[in-house]
Structure formats: structure tokens, C-alpha cells
């Protein structure tokens, strides 16, 4: 199949590109290499996926996609977004990169791309709100600009599906970690701080926050299976995550154990919109995708530390 991955040089998108190529698919990636974090870090991912045969375009998804993209894409995985919960990111950035970009890509998929078999929207557990423990059928209650705009993007995609314009589904991911994790996220930021001997800012109370920390390889397993389960996934919202729950404090302690050195913790004020608990309910993923996350938490963190050592030390 010919598959488009948006946000292809990012954390999860780059892993999916590699997996899809390994399964014999023709993969076209697109990324705008935004300056949300150092584009040089994305260049490292980009070089890795180019080596395995991914064609990568540098472009903005608000541009005229009929000029940029071919019109014979079979499956679209839409990762590109304004990521994360940030007090310094203006709402206009979330609105542009989550809502407007999704709408533009949808319009191209419906009106210009002649082969669209499935549009896979990549959503987030932040849609659920402070306690992300719900099934997909329960009403979401996002509390951050990120969660609100990702919910809006999800509904744009599903509205197009409900009106018969294209087949689509939305996948809500839970606390993904592993090699290539973005530099502002918990474990990459913590690992860097320990090796650099600098302080690690820990938000007030966050050491007690509970998370369904899910290894990126387990997420990719679920995303890949959508291709062979397209009919069952059409119109569905599906949680992907680990059912094992750990506190942030437990994760920090494991990283310290793996590296063999304590972090210099700098306690800072609470982060607005931060979730108190995520616990993935994955009954639907098990039923529709035979989804079975298997990676042990410490095993996954060891892989992330090893990646950081290889790329940055």
C-alpha cells in the first residue's frame, strides 16, 4: 500500500514509518520541522527514516496539498499537531496546527486524493481531561488548550466519516515514551538533566500523578494492525495504551536506577491542565485489533536511555 504519515520526523511518526517500510509498504512522510523544539533533533529522526526508504517531504500542511502530495495515497496516518500541554504556547498555535491543519488535510483526502481507504487520526488521552480513565463511549472533558483542540480535530475527522465522505477512525494514545521521545517530555528531559548534571524541574504534586506509560513499540504494533482491520476500525474511537499504571515518581526512580545517578530535582509550581491520572481502558483495541501491549516499563526505559546514549553522548 501507499501510505502517508504526517509529522513523520517526529517521535511516534518516525517509528511508524520504519515499521511500515519493513512490512513492504511504500511510505511518504511529511513534516514542517517547526521550531517548537530544535529542528536538528528531528533531522536525526529524518535521517534514520530516509535510510530505510521513506520519502520525506518538508512542507506545511496548510499549504496547497494538491500541489505537494500525490493523489494516489491509500492510508493516511495523521500525527502532525501542536503537541503537549504548555503554558507558553498561545492558543492560536493549537488552533492552527491541530484544527486548521486537520481540516485542510481532510479536504485534500476527500476531494483530491482518489484512493483514500482510511484516514487514521492520531488523538490523545488529554481529550479525557484530568482523569483519563474512561472508555471511548464516555463524554470527554478536556481541561487544556491541547486537549480541547485535539478533540475538535478528532470530531472534524469523525464528522466527515459520519457524513459518508470518507472512512476514518481516531486513535487516542496514552503517555507514550521510548527512543526519540521529544526533548520537553518527561524521560528525555530527565535523562538529559542527569547526564548534564543540571536540575530537573518537577511540577508540584506531579510525582504522585499516575500514568499508563506505554512503550512506543507497543503503540506502533496497534497502529500497524489498523491496516488489516480497516473495516472494523471505520468510525471508531480507539484507546491505545498500557493497562499497567505507574506514578511519575516511580518512573524517575527507575531512570535513576538505570543510569546509576540521582537527578537534581528542582520543585516548581503546578502546570495548568496537567492530568492527575491516566489509565488506559483498551477493551475495544483488544477486540478490534487483538491489541496486546507487552513491553515491561523498565525494559522500555532502558531502551530509551540506550538511545539517548547512542545519539547524544
pLDDT tens for 268-310 read 988 877 899 999 999 999 999 999 999 999 999 999 999 999 9
Instruction: List, by residue number, the catalytic residues.
Output: 146
The conformational region for residue 42 under phi > 0 = left, psi -120 to 50 = alpha, else beta, is: alpha
- In the chain the domains, ranked by start, together with CATH numbers, are 2-174+216-240+282-289 (3.40.50.720), 186-209+244-279+296-312 (3.90.25.10)
What is the per-residue burial (b if ≥16 Cβ within 10 Å, else e) of 51-73? Answer: eeebebeebbbeeebeeebeeeb
pLDDT tens for 136-182 read 999 999 999 999 999 999 999 999 999 999 999 999 999 999 999 99
According to the model, what pLDDT value does residue 185 have?
94
What is the per-residue burial (b if ≥16 Cβ within 10 Å, else e) of 32-42? Answer: bbbebeeeebb
Q: How far is CA 6 from CA 16, 119, 223, in A?
A: 11, 11, 14
The pTM for the full model equals 0.97
CB count, 10 Å around CB of 264? 12
- Per-chain mean pLDDT for the chain: 96
CB of 82 closer than 8 Å to CB of 36:
yes
According to the model, what pLDDT value does residue 273 have?
76
Three-state DSSP class for residue 163: coil
DSSP string, 272-291: TT--SEE----HHHHHHH--
pLDDT tens for 101-141 read 999 999 999 999 999 999 999 999 999 999 999 999 999 99
pLDDT tens for 187-231 read 999 999 999 999 999 999 999 999 999 999 999 999 999 999 999
For the chain, how long is the longest CA-to-CA vector?
55
Task: Band the pLDDT of 81: cuts 50, 70, 90.
Answer: very high
**Complete edge-to-edge strand list for the sheet that includes strand 2-6:** 55-58, 26-31, 2-6, 75-78, 118-124, 168-173, 237-240
Amino acid at each position: 500500500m501507499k501510505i502517508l504519515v504526517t509529522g513523520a520526523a517526529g517521535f511516534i511518526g518516525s517509528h511508524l514509518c520504519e515499521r511500515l517500510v519493513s512490512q513492504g509498504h511504500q511510505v511518504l512522510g511529511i513534516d514542517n520541522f517547526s521550531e517548537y523544539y530544535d529542528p536538528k533533533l528531528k533531522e536525526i529522526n529524518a535521517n534514520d527514516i530516509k535510510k530505510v526508504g521513506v520519502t520525506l517531504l518538508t512542507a506545511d500542511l496548510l499549504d496547497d496539498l494538491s500541489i505537494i502530495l500525490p493523489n494516489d495515497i491509500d492510508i493516511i496516518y495523521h500525527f502532525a499537531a501542536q503537541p503537549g500541554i504548555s503554558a507558553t504556547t498561545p492558543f492560536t498555535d493549537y488552533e492552527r496546527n491541530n484544527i486548521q491543519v486537520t481540516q485542510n488535510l481532510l479536504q485534500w483526502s476527500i476531494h483530491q486524493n482518489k484512493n483514500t481507504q482510511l484516514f487514521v487520526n492520531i488523538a490523545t488521552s488529554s481529550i479525557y481531561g484530568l482523569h483519563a480513565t474512561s472508555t471511548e463511549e464516555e463524554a470527554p472533558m478536556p481541561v487544556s488548550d491541547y486537549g480541547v483542540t485535539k478533540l475538535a480535530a478528532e470530531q472534524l475527522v469523525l464528522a466527515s466519516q459520519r457524513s459518508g465522505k470518507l472512512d476514518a477512525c481516531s486513535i487516542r494514545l496514552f503517555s507514550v515514551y521510548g527512543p526519540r521521545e521529544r526533548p520537553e517530555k518527561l524521560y528525555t528531559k530527565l535523562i538529559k538533566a542527569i547526564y548534564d548534571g543540571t536540575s530537573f524541574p518537577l511540577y508540584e504534586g506531579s510525582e504522585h500523578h499516575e500514568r499508563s506509560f506505554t512503550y512506543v513499540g507497543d503503540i506502533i504494533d496497534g497502529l500497524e494492525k489498523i491496516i488489516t482491520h480497516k473495516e472494523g476500525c471505520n468510525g471508531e474511537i480507539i484507546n491505545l495504551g498500557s493497562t499497567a499504571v505507574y506514578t511519575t515518581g516511580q518512573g524517575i526512580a527507575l531512570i535513576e536506577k538505570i543510569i546509576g545517578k540521582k537527578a537534581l530535582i528542582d520543585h516548581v509550581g503546578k502546570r495548568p491542565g496537567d492530568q492527575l491520572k491516566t489509565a488506559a481502558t483498551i477493551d475495544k483495541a483488544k477486540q478490534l485489533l487483538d491489541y496486546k501491549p507487552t513491553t515491561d516499563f523498565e525494559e522500555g526505559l532502558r531502551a530509551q536511555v540506550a538511545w539517548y546514549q547512542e545519539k547524544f553522548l
